[in-house]
Copies of this chain bind each other. A is one copy, B any other.
Amino acid sequence: MQISSRFTIAIHIFACVDTFKDQFKLTSDFIAGSVNVNPVIIRKILQQLKAAGLVTVARGTGGVEAARPLETITLLDVFRAVDSIEDGQLFHFHENPNSACPVGRNIHYGLDDKLQSIQLAMENSMQGITLADVVRDTQRRIANEEA
């Protein structure tokens, strides 16, 4: 199974917000046009980002803004905000190993810490990348395109 596209969509949202914040009002419809999904999908993700304190969404008038400078928001923040994995556990351990079997009874002890360290490696890597990094590289490419 892959990690839900909510994650890349959320990043895309930030890229749009930052790139167009001076030119357009950032409505869910506008963003949905760039991402190419249904506006309701965008609104749901915006709710998750808002709950995590990463964006502000203006009711009534409409419009999205980043709640913090993009340098201070890491990909891990976004990843957790959109709840890309269940219970924070990357790996789905088979539910009921047989406790009547020595291996079934003890496999968790041999494996849990290793799975955890793998997940930690991934999360550390995510934490080292900020939205500013992604947006900068994207906008640089846009600028080159026009040249």
Q: Tell whether, in the assembled complex, residue B35 and residue A90 are in contact, meaning their CB atoms are under 8 Å apart.
A: no
Residues 10-39 of chain A: 1 if any B CB is under 8 Å from the residue's CB, otherwise 0? 011001100110000000000001111100
Q: Is the interface of A mostly helix, strand, loop or mixed?
A: helix
Query: How large, as a class, is the contact surface on chain A?
Result: 35 or more
Give A36-50 as 1s and 0s: 1 = Cβ < 8 Å from B's Cβ atoms.
Answer: 110000000000000
Given known contacts A34-B98, A36-B104, A7 and B134 CB-to-CB distance under 8 angstroms: no
A34 touches B101 (CB 8 A): yes
A: residues with CB less than 8 A from B are 1-5, 7-9, 11-12, 15-16, 19-20, 33-37, 75, 84-86, 89-98, 101-107, 109-111, 114-115, 117-122, 124-126, 129, 133-139, 141-142, 145
Asked whether, in the complex, the Cβ of A125 is within 8 Å of the Cβ of B129, the reply is no
